[in-house]
């Protein structure tokens, strides 16, 4: 993330509702600044979509006011998955798509992120231009130039049909029994229709949002209920999305979790020769994934954590497939951004074509034990600058040897330091990650 940024992080602007900058007055000014910036880049409306958290109504109205004041027309999509908004921005020739969401975070948080008219994350220079406009005084265009607002009532159906076309037209999911967990989030009225219309026998979890229950004990970050229902119902697989639908975690028929590393491996295995010689992961990707990718005669390239960085690497090296352990999967042959529903369809397609269970498809990837602990911080801190921490890390790396890894980093989306340890011995990994987390927690307290 460039040091020039004041508000934008790796995935837009995010925080606790009511705490700056996640306030109605700032979001209205942000809408105005974005409208002013985009107005000079072409015609067309700006789309606004959101997930299901209660504050989405407030921020939708704030963005609408700001964009209209800048003279930009608006199309309201209502609750829509993040990748659906990216698709519709491109499909409707919009100037941009704006997503009101805090992804996998609890309902108390919210955020704003942008897609360009081609369905991609905004370029750095445009985000910086928006930040520059934020410093200018708020000025409303003449009344005859105010932006007009319309609701796009067919947005869900357009996106459902798009998802269904991401697998071969002759293929259907008939015979598959699936459990779908929508995290009480933005996929609640989308994902069940996609899988059912493609022929699957489905049951559902997390499809009753009330504004407060998004991601609460359900979804990609809490797959326990999904695991239980898959096993209890004898389903072939479970599919869990996060609150905004760009992240995917799956469960096989035994109730075992299939994370982003395994999903990436399964998709890559279908036709590795079509992937331009490499796939992209992050520094968090398991060493086992790297070894399994090499066995497919592909290179494995790592970036910083964040789908933004994965995307940048894909374009930079003319590659197609990349993703994160958390379940963000990007396949540029299918979509312009990470899409949980589309990624799930690719895995199901692999199951059907190979006549193999999900449990069998992941067998070519043997993951190393990996443990992570989040250490809270009350202000932004570079953990590597904390007194004594570099020596502690060096000692841990020496204990693990050449087949282990230590990764300490500040989260780009939450006020925590992520402490990750990976190695062949699970007991040793657990001990070392706990020791490191304790040392960092102490160092953070000293630095407060």
Max distance between CA atoms of the chain, in angstroms, equals: 70
Structure-block tokens of residue 29: 């000014």
In angstroms, the CA 271 to CA 172 distance is 20
**CA terminus-to-terminus distance, the chain:** 24
Contacts of 255 (CB under 8 A, 6+ apart): 227, 228, 230, 231
In angstroms, the CA 335 to CA 331 distance is 6
Let me know if 103 is a catalytic residue: yes
* Secondary structure (DSSP) of 184-195: TSTTTTTHHHHH
Contacts of 252 (CB under 8 A, 6+ apart): 230, 237, 258, 357, 358, 359, 362
Residue 135 burial (C-beta neighbours within 10 Å; 0-12, 13-18, 19+): exposed
φ/ψ of 416, rounded to 5, equals -140, 155
Structure-block tokens of residue 113: 């992120």
Tokens 């159906």 belong to which residue? 157
- Catalytic residue (one of 103, 116, 285, 343): 103
CB of 365 closer than 8 Å to CB of 288: yes
Structure-block tokens of residue 251: 């469960």
In angstroms, the CA 87 to CA 69 distance is 26
Structure-block tokens of residue 253: 């028929």
Residue from 91, 71, 118, 86 nearest 12 by CA: 86
* Secondary structure (DSSP) of 11-47: TBEEEETTSTTSSHHHHHHHHHHHHHHHHTT--S-EE
Contacts of 173 (CB under 8 A, 6+ apart): 195, 198, 199, 200, 348, 352
CB of 391 closer than 8 Å to CB of 406: no
Where are the alpha helices (H) located in 317-425, listed in sequence order? 340-354, 358-361, 389-400
The catalytic residues are 103
């Amino acid at each position: 993330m460039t040091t020039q940024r004041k508000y934008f992080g790796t995935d837009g602007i995010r925080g606790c509702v009511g705490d700056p900058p996640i306030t109605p007055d700032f979001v209205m000014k942000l809408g105005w600044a974005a409208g002013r910036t985009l107005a000079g880049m072409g015609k067309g409306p700006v789309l606004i979509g959101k997930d299901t958290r209660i504050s989405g109504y407030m921020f939708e109205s704030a963005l609408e006011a700001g964009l209209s004041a800048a003279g930009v027309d608006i199309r309201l999509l209502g609750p829509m998955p993040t990748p659906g908004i990216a698709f519709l921005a491109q499909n409707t020739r919009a100037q941009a798509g704006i997503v009101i969401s805090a992804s996998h975070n609890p309902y108390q948080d919210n955020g704003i992120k942008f897609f360009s008219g081609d369905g991609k994350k905004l370029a750095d220079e445009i985000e910086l231009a928006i930040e520059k406009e934020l410093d200018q005084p708020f000025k409303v265009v003449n009344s005859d130039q105010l932006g007009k607002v319309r609701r796009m009532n067919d947005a869900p159906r357009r996106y459902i049909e798009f998802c269904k076309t991401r697998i071969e037209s002759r293929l259907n999911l008939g015979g598959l029994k699936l459990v779908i967990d929508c995290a009480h989030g933005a996929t609640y009225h989308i994902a069940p229709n996609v899988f059912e219309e493609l022929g699957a026998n489905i049951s559902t979890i997390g499809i009753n949002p009330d504004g407060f229950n998004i991601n609460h004990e359900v979804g990609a970050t809490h797959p326990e209920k999904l695991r239980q229902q898959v096993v209890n119902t004898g389903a072939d697989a479970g599919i869990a999305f996060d609150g905004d639908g760009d992240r995917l975690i799956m469960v096989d028929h035994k109730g075992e979790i299939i994370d982003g590393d395994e999903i990436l491996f399964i998709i890559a295995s279908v036709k590795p020769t079509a992937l331009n010689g490499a796939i992209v992961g992050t520094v968090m990707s398991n060493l086992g994934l790297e070894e399994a990718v090499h066995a497919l005669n592909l290179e494995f390239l790592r970036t910083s954590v964040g789908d933004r960085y994965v995307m940048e690497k894909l374009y930079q090296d003319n590659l197609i497939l990349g993703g994160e352990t958390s379940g963000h999967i990007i396949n540029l042959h299918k979509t312009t951004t990470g899409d949980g529903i589309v990624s799930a369809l690719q895995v199901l397609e692999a199951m059907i074509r190979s006549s193999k269970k999900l449990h069998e498809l992941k067998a070519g990837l043997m993951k190393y034990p990996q443990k992570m602990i989040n250490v809270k911080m009350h202000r932004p801190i570079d953990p590597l600058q904390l007194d004594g921490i570099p020596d502690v890390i060096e000692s841990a790396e020496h204990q693990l040897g050449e087949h282990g890894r230590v990764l300490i980093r500040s989260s780009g989306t939450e006020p925590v330091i992520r402490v990750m340890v990976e190695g062949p011995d699970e007991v040793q990994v657990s001990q070392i990650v706990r020791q490191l987390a304790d040392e960092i927690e102490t160092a953070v307290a000293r630095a407060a």
